[in-house]
């Protein structure tokens, strides 16, 4: 796969997932191409996500917020009743609910 953007690679994954979801009978002749293209696209997405996470971590460290980049959260601020509010659940690339069959 030539150099692609995250968006291009993600669209490949979405297209292949949709193809696999909607086919009546498995098309074995195309399956190897779909798998190879999907693996390549996944690698591009993973590489871009890792690069963004690293850049974010470095930015947080340089800003003096070094524990915040790896899922560590600051203690929630008390709410108006003096209690602690619960943090919102995180949504990451791996948490996406898209029913990808691979």
How confident is the model at residue 85, as a pLDDT? 52
Position 102 pLDDT exceeds 70: no
Three-point CA angle 34, 35, 37, nearest 5°: 65
- Between the CA atoms of 72, 66, 69 and 78, what dihedral angle is there, to the nearest 10 degrees? 40
Residue 27's pLDDT is 84
Asked whether the predicted pLDDT for residue 88 surpasses 50, the reply is yes
Tens digit of pLDDT for each residue in 25-65?
A: 888 889 999 999 999 999 999 999 999 999 999 999 998 87
**26 torsion bin: left (phi>0), alpha (psi -120 to 50), beta (else):** beta
pLDDT, mean over the chain = 78
pLDDT at 26: 81
């Amino acid at each position: 796969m030539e150099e692609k953007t995250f968006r291009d690679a993600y669209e490949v994954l979405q297209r292949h997932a949709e193809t696999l979801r909607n086919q009546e009978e498995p098309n074995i002749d195309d399956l190897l191409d779909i798998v190879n293209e999907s693996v390549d696209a996944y690698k591009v997405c993973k590489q871009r996500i890792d690069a963004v996470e690293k850049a974010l971590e470095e930015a947080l460290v340089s800003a003096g917020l070094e524990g915040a980049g790896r899922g560590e959260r600051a203690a929630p601020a008390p709410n108006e009743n003096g209690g602690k509010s619960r943090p919102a659940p995180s949504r990451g690339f791996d948490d996406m609910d898209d029913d990808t069959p691979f």
